[in-house]
Amino acid sequence: MATFGTPSSAGVPESITSQTAVLPLDDEEALENFFAEHGDKLAAVIIEGIPANNGLLIQRHDYIRLIRALTEKHGALMIFDEVITGFRLGLGGAAAYYGITPDLLTYGKSIGGGMPVGAFGGRAEIMDMLSPLGPVYQAGTLSGNPLAMVAGYTTLKKLEDGKIYKELEEKNRRFVTDITEQLRDCKVNIAGVASIFWIVFQPELPRSAQTINNAGITHYNRIHEKVLNRGIYLPPSGYEVCFISSVHPDNMLANTANTLANIIRQEAHSWNN
Ligand SMILES: Cc1ncc(COP(=O)(O)O)c(C=O)c1O
């Protein structure tokens, strides 16, 4: 939605949105003030620990830990959206990256081994609220679909020894360093964590949506078209992130880094920011 400048979706009634507050990221003061005023009435705080849906906005550990401390103090749940980061950063996802334990976590994407799976989990006390133990009923056409469950289970089993994470991290680190070194004189940055990277057209890596240089998205669109003509398919929106896979061979990554860096350098001449 960031691509189209849309903050929300049609069809969500005001009675729902009025019960939700959206706070700016990377802002301890906004959090403290909000908790001081509303903390004791708050059900939960939900956050994508490493937002990877609107750029790759790697947060400061202190900021995430403050959310954990404030929710604990006020008896609100902390829900981590790990749909992108879960089992991708490592077995412990973004929660392990920050060294915190949320009360609930949501998962999707990589846990399905290519099949469509969504899941959530958390403290036993909360999960026991689900039917048949508790009063919360959760079911659906595709819930527990056997094919998807077997694909997901097999994938998670393969991830268990952690080998692939080390391999992916190393591939991504090399790729990101390679491009960054080639673009040292351009105002381009690559945010990278585990097997995820994101190309940013500004000297500092942003940590919030407000600090993303939106003019960079125009640069991205031109670069997207040029590299596509060379056989490199980047995500169609500059707000989307890229993922390194275990099946990307090193020589392919090196060629991609060179092509991307060359095209970005050519384009950079026409930027006047
Ligand atoms: C970070 C994040 N959270 C939630 C979702 C939605 O997940 P689902 O389609 O399983 O509801 C997505 C889907 O793209 C996502 O990227």
Q: Where exactly does CATH 3.40.640.10 map onto the chain?
A: 2-159
Q: If you measure from the C-alpha of residue 109 to the centroid of ligand 1, how many angstroms do you get, rounded to a whole number?
A: 8
d(CA 68, CA 110): 25
Average pLDDT of the chain is 94
163-268 is classed CATH 3.40.47.10: no
Joined tokens for residue 142: 């595709």
What CATH number has the domain spanning 2-159?
Answer: 3.40.640.10
The alpha carbon of 76 and the centre of ligand 1 are apart by a number of angstroms equal to: 22
Question: Any residues with Cβ below 6 Å from ligand 1, and which?
Answer: 48, 53, 81, 83-84, 108, 118
Residues 176-188 have pLDDT tens digits of: 999 999 998 888 9
- Going by their DSSP bridges, the two strands 44-47 and 77-81 should be labelled as parallel
pTM for this prediction: 0.92
Numbered ranges of CATH 3.90.1150.10 in the chain: 163-268
Residue 55 and residue 242 in contact, taking contact as beta carbons nearer than 8 Å = no
Per-residue pLDDT tens over the stretch 31-86:
999 999 999 999 999 999 999 989 999 999 999 999 999 999 999 999 999 999 99
